């Protein structure tokens, strides 16, 4: 099924999504995307449903063919201080701040969002599998975060971040037991290393 292009035909819409909420380490990353009216790409879908290669191939196509996009990240220290939900929403606000075009309406993946600059918004559960702008945002955010976790893997190869990207896999948890935490781990999360 093709993803919908717009919630309303009357407004400049930005689609927002975040990745990394459930990870034990690394930042939470959000992206915002404003589509061009002529944007066409039927491969785009919820980033979780796409292979790593397909997502990476779509990255430059999205960036080159949308009206505006922006990506923002917040570190583990911010997540620990404000909790992961608030950090996720704040990262989306930061991505919206960085857009070259001011949106008139915001589409948000999920069911929670804080009002942003008096711009109306709509939360959409599983929005990344329903709306093209949210799906494009999810791809950009996931690609950005995956690349970052692959770089951090060079620092700490024992945790397997190049394949688990910071999620609580068995290898990651075993490495926590053996090596303890790094500065990239979220201290407010339940880290199974005791």
Q: Give me the DSSP letters along 35-98.
A: E-TT---TT---GGGS-HHHHHHHHHHHHHHEEEEEEEEE-HHHHHHH-HHHHHHHHHHHHHHH
Task: Please tell me whether 128 is known to bind a ligand.
Answer: no
Give me the chain's average pLDDT, please: 93
With cut-offs at 50, 70 and 90, classify the pLDDT of residue 47.
confident
pLDDT tens-digit series, residues 30-45: 999 999 988 887 777 7
Task: Please tell me whether 46 is known to bind a ligand.
Answer: no
- Please, are residues 21 and 28 in contact by the beta-carbon 8 Å criterion? yes
Task: Please tell me whether 37 is known to bind a ligand.
Answer: no
Say whether pLDDT at 1 is over 60: no
With cut-offs at 50, 70 and 90, classify the pLDDT of residue 8.
confident
What is the Cβ-side half-sphere exposure of residue 9, based on CA atoms within 13 angstroms?
0
Instruction: Give the span between the Cα atoms of 131 and 187, in whole angstroms.
Output: 34
pLDDT value of residue 42: 73
């Amino acid at each position: 099924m093709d993803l919908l292009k717009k919630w309303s035909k009357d407004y400049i819409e930005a689609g927002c999504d975040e990745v990394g909420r459930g990870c034990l380490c690394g930042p939470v990353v959000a992206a915002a995307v404003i589509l061009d009216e002529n944007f066409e790409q039927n491969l785009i879908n919820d980033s979780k449903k796409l292979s790593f290669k397909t997502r990476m191939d779509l990255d430059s196509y999205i960036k080159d063919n949308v009206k505006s996009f922006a990506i923002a990240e917040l570190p583990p220290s911010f997540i620990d201080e404000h909790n992961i939900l608030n950090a996720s929403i704040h990262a989306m606000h930061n991505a919206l701040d960085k857009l070259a075009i001011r949106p008139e309406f915001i589409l948000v993946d999920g069911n929670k969002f804080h009002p942003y600059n008096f711009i109306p918004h709509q939360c959409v559960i599983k929005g990344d599998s329903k709306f093209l702008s949210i799906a494009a945002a999810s791809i950009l955010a996931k690609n950005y975060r995956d690349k970052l976790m692959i770089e951090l893997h060079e620092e700490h190869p024992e945790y397997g971040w190049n394949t688990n990207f910071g999620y609580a896999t068995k290898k990651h948890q075993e490495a926590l037991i053996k090596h303890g935490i790094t500065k990239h781990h979220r201290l407010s999360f339940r880290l199974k290393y005791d």
